[in-house]
């Protein structure tokens, strides 16, 4: 399974080199509501098995969660189900938020 360091992920986002990829946030709605990446699509972990048809097989899929654990499990699941182009974002949104300097209300 592939993974990406959060700094490299943020750099790729900032340089807009992920346009041919999809970013899936596997956190829950309340976590997403607190903060999220505008570039990401929310598909909570528990919904992944029912929404496999929404995932492309011909694009890289970057997976993000709060700290990188749930997204790692989803990456394993996707690979077990024939979707190979998955990349886990190490450290998850906690690391990305620190690097991007998200402001919280």
Q: Is 55 among the domain residues?
A: yes
Work out how many domains the chain is built from and give that number.
1
pLDDT digits (tens, 9 = 90+) for 27-43: 999 999 999 999 999 99
In a domain, 62, yes or no: yes
Among residues 39, 86, 42, the alpha carbon closest in space to that of 66 is found at 42
Contacts of 4 (CB under 8 A, 6+ apart): 12, 62, 87, 88, 89, 90
Helix (H, G, I), strand (E, B) or coil at 25: strand
Decide if 22 is inside a domain.
Answer: yes
| Residue 80 lies in domain | 2-100
Residue 105 has pLDDT above 80, yes or no: no
Three-state DSSP class for 31?
helix
In a domain, 94, yes or no: yes
Domain annotation covers residue 105: no
pLDDT in tens, 57-78: 899 999 999 999 999 999 999 9
- Indicate whether 65 belongs to any domain: yes
pTM above 0.85, yes or no: yes
């Amino acid at each position: 399974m592939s993974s990406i360091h959060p700094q490299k992920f943020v750099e790729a986002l900032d340089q807009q080199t992920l346009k041919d990829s999809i970013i899936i946030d596997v956190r829950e709605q309340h976590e997403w509501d607190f903060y999220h990446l505008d570039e990401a699509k929310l598909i909570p972990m528990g919904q992944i098995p029912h929404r496999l048809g929404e995932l492309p097989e011909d694009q890289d899929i970057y997976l993000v969660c709060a700290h990188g654990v749930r997204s790692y499990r989803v990456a394993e699941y996707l690979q077990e189900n024939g979707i190979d182009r998955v990349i886990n974002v190490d450290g998850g949104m906690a690391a990305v938020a620190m690097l991007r300097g998200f402001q919280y209300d």
